[in-house]
Structure 1
Amino acid sequence: MVEGVEESVKYIRKVINNFQPEIAIILGSGLGDIAEEFENKIKIKTSDIPNYPLPTVEGHAGNLVFGEINNANVLGFQGRIHFYESGKIEKVVYPVVVAYELGVKILIITNASGGLNKNFKPGDLMVIADHINFMFLNPLKIFSPNINRFNKPAYDENLKKLAIETGIELKLPIREGIYCGVRGPNYETPAEVNMLRKIGADAVGMSTVPEVITANYLGMKVLGISCITNYAAGISPTKLSHEEVTEAAQKVKNEFSLLIKEIIRKIKQGKI
């Protein structure tokens, strides 16, 4: 177990009593409002949880929200920890390990990302088919230096299919593509964007990959969804900013929320 998690989980369990989350959602930049729609909410500030790392980026509130969506018990992470904030991979994957220790079986990871595929546009919702790890680090080293390798799709095939079908049914701008994770904190140069496009990436961001690797190692099923908030540098002449990213995510939050709720309803109905 990651150091400090046991004490964090003990504190959380005291607050939520017998509540048992089935599904956890990590909410990316500008997408945290989804957790405010939970029914019978229990909200815990991460600053109150022993050992829990605190997010420092705008648009990441720093709350754990427990509640219900379509009769499913869910845990929403309002705010994630990026590697560039501390340089410590243990902090990045801390929420995933907490979710696992609380009994979560399915992890939905969301993010705001820059579009590399010129056929995508801001506002599109991209189901992550696979990822490219350009962070050049792997969180599994914190679990064991001699960890067994595993060979399976990082993103659950049934959950991917369910998400795409649901997006089409709801007439949402749903896409499927490859996500590339980089360390940040700066945005990519036009030359880097051109390189990433050539190696097959459809979107780029500064999160998700370590969380997905950890969740797979722990045996959780993973669904990843990116909100394409902007064109990457070199594709758009506009100067990029975090404010632009969060503002764009806010514009599609209703569509994003609708998609997440319907996916969870179908999961609860056993359609995977």
Structure 2
Amino acid sequence: MANDDMSNDTQQSSVDFINNIIGLLPKPFHAKAAMILGSGLGTVTEQAELLAEISYQDIPGFPETGVAGHSGSMFLALVNGHPMIILNGRIHFYEQADAGAMAPVIATLKALGIETLIITNAAGSLLNAAPGSVMMIKDYINFTGQSPLFGVADNSRFVSMSKAYDSQYRYRLRQIAEKNDIHLAQGVYAWMAGPQFETPAEIRAIRMMGADAVGMSTVPETILARYHGMKVAALSIITNYGAGMDDVRLSHEQTLEYAPKAAAKVQILISGFMDFLYAEKHGSNN
């Protein structure tokens, strides 16, 4: 739960642990943006300059990942020369039956000074986006009935989600995609609990409710980031069609096969987005 993501002492220990490693870097490292990588997207880090890798297991209070394609590592990196914290791995609701499993991670990012969270995931397409393509998330539907804010005891739990995904960020990502001739779909993401894939009947219902892609993550992290006052951008990497939409048997291996095919597109989008973020912080949006 967000108000109990870790004790104050443990959270301070996690921040101190990471800051100690930052202090050992040859140059100052003041990241204002962080990115969570979805299943099979570890190759996105190949174009970044990795300064340090920290296992989740070594960070006080951090959860342990247990899904193939999620290494459970924090990277201190430079993307186009801009500092960024990259999280290769997340905890899903279905692993621990806890929507707040990523709360310690997001709270630590906030304490480290992160202002922008970029979230990526692997998702099933419910529209005309083929496997290997990218969809920018403009809104979400939570079909699980779960929230990482269950148990928060004060009025901070009543977070407005009317602008969950920052409109200016979406505009800039569209510009970057057009400049680089990348087809970037835009749509609504449906969060399902998993770990089983959806039935064809569920996919039909989800499509009727207005969703364009379906997956098992991202929404808890979005809620937590907004709870902490971060701006959010999110990208779905399309790895398959929803159940009943084609004849391919759904599997996690399919996710791991198609996600890397979109990695090059994600690298270009994130690289340009980081240029925009740091130009904005220095008073220019050019």
Shorter chain as denominator, the TM-score bin is over 0.9
Look up the equivalent residue of 1:121 and give its one-letter code: A
Superposed CA RMSD in Å reads 1.6
- For 1:38 and 1:156, the matched residues in 2 are separated by 24
Is the alpha carbon distance of 1:191 and 1:40 closer, same or farther for their aligned partners in structure 2, counting shifts above 3 Å? closer
Distance 1:87 1:49, change over 3 A: same
Are 2:35 and 2:85, in contact at CA under 8 Å, matched by a contact in 1?
yes
Structure 1 counterpart of 2:58, one-letter code = D
The alpha carbon displacement at 1:73 in A equals: 1.1
Residue of structure 1 equivalent to 2:64: 54
SS of 1:227's equivalent in the other structure is strand
The one-letter amino acid paired with 2:40 is: G
Q: Deviations over 1:225-267 (max 9, x none)?
A: 1011110101011110101011100112112111111111122
Is 1:144–2:156 an aligned residue pair?
A: no
Give the Å deviation of 1:146.
4.3
Q: CA deviation at 1:142?
A: 4.2
Q: Are the equivalent residues in 2 in contact too, given 1:90–1:142 (CA < 8 A)?
A: no
- Partner SS state of residue 100, structure 2: helix
Q: Distance in 2 between matches of 1:246 and 1:261?
A: 23
- Give the superposition deviation at 1:38: 2.2
Question: Are 2:22 and 1:13 equivalent residues in the alignment?
Answer: no
Moved beyond 4 Å, runs of 4+: none
Distance 1:76 1:218, change over 3 A: same
Q: In 2, distance between residues paired with 1:200 and 1:96? A: 29
- Where in structure 2 are the equivalents of 1:71-110 lying within 5 Å? 71-110=81-120
Query: Which residue of the partner structure matches residue 214 of structure 1?
Result: 224
Q: TM-score, normalised by structure 1?
A: 0.95
The alpha-carbon distance between structure 1 residues 167 and 142, as it changes in their structure 2 partners (threshold 3 A), is farther
Rounded to whole Å, the distance in 2 between the matches of 1:42 and 1:98 is 17
Counting matched residue pairs gives 271
Asked if structure 2 preserves the Cα contact closer than 8 Å seen for 1:166 and 1:263, the reply is: yes
TM alignment of 1:103-252, pairs within 5 A: 103-117=113-127, 119-144=128-153, 146-147=155-156, 149-151=158-160, 152-252=162-262
Unaligned 5+ segments in structure 2 are none
Deviations 1:102-141 (A, max 9, x none): 1000000000100011x22112211101000112111122
**Contact 1:38/1:66 (<8 A) preserved:** no
Structure 1, gaps ≥5 residues long: none
